[in-house]
Amino acid sequence: MNLYPKQLFRLLALSVVACFTMALVGCGDDDAQYIGNDNSSSSGNKNANTVTSERAVRRLEFPALKKTGNQKLIVHRLSNTSYDSEAINFATEWDCDKKSQRWSCYQLHKGFTGNYSRVADFTFDPALSPSEYWSEFRYFPGYDRGHICPSADRTFSHEANEQTFYMSNMQPQYHEFNGYQDGTSNRGLWVRMESQLQKWAKNLSYTDTIYVCKGGTIDDEKNIITRINGKMIVPKYFFMAILRKSQFGYAAVGFWSNQTKAWRTEETLLSHCMSIEKLEQLTGIDFFCNLPDDIEKQVEKTFNASSWADLK
């Protein structure tokens, strides 16, 4: 077939567009969890976590690991890769001096829920020694044992759900913040936030991912309510850092709320939303540090409510 110059130019242009489109689609595979190389000082991603013995720290759900103090990173893995290509369930940064968790992080995909029911058997984390945890606190007197990585987000297998009941994944929370009141419409603010996140996850396409980092404030005395028996920290504030990757790119939102012993049903979720940049100022945690710096800066500086449905 003979092509005129204009036809040849158009064909070449379409080929370039097609190749670029395929490259964008390719960003949805498992390797997209590891952006850049393993050198945290590399051009384009200066604040990324440095890989030592645990490669998972370069996944997008991980914030920057705390560089001072006596921390322990716990990565909970599953016995197979049917849900996650690296068999990762969720991860926790544990402060061995404060004997408290700073955050848990994990991913959400379409179909993260399944047929396995809540295990409801709280156990100590086998990754921690007795000296690294307040072993007398199997329960939190006066408080709920509040999941940070929720049981409801891990019902695709018995093993995954069981790991969410490790005490290292718990923080002391008022029932009015974390629970329900039978016979009424009262639902705690924290559980409302978790339910909204689960709704967003259920509406993901099969190529989308939500990256989550959640926790309570343990690093500043003014952000602590009390210590149970003078030991176990009760955080005054709880947070969620949420990043969604879809065919439209990245979008992020932060949740921040003080913990009070009240139902607060009149408060909207929207009133607790903010940019990730603002959430970082409040928590002192560098979220989504493994994104390329230019994308991280753009995504974290603003919060667009129109990108997130049903913030009521």
The model's pLDDT over 123-164, given as tens digits with 9 standing for 90+, comes to 999 999 999 999 999 999 999 999 999 999 999 999 999 999
The burial of 67, by beta-carbon neighbours within 10 Å (0-12 exposed, 13-18 middle, 19 or more buried), is given as exposed
Q: Helix or strand or coil: residue 297?
A: helix
Structure tokens at 66: 């705390």
What are the extents of the domains in the chain? 1-33, 35-307
The model's pLDDT over 201-213, given as tens digits with 9 standing for 90+, comes to 999 999 999 999 9
Structure tokens at 300: 């974290």
The model's pLDDT over 191-203, given as tens digits with 9 standing for 90+, comes to 999 999 999 999 9
Q: With contact defined as beta carbons under 8 Å apart, do 182 and 246 qualify?
A: no
List, as one string, the DSSP characters of 34-80. Answer: S-S-S-TTSTT-TTPPPPSS-GGGGSTT--PPP-SS-EEEEEEE-SS
Q: With contact defined as beta carbons under 8 Å apart, do 108 and 210 qualify?
A: yes
Q: Helix or strand or coil: residue 103?
A: strand
Provide the 10 A C-beta neighbour count for residue 199: 11
Per-residue DSSP letter, 166: B
Does residue 6 carry a pLDDT above 70? Answer: no
What's the CATH number for 35-307?
3.40.570.10
The model's pLDDT over 225-279, given as tens digits with 9 standing for 90+, comes to 999 999 999 999 999 999 999 999 999 999 999 999 999 999 999 999 999 999 9
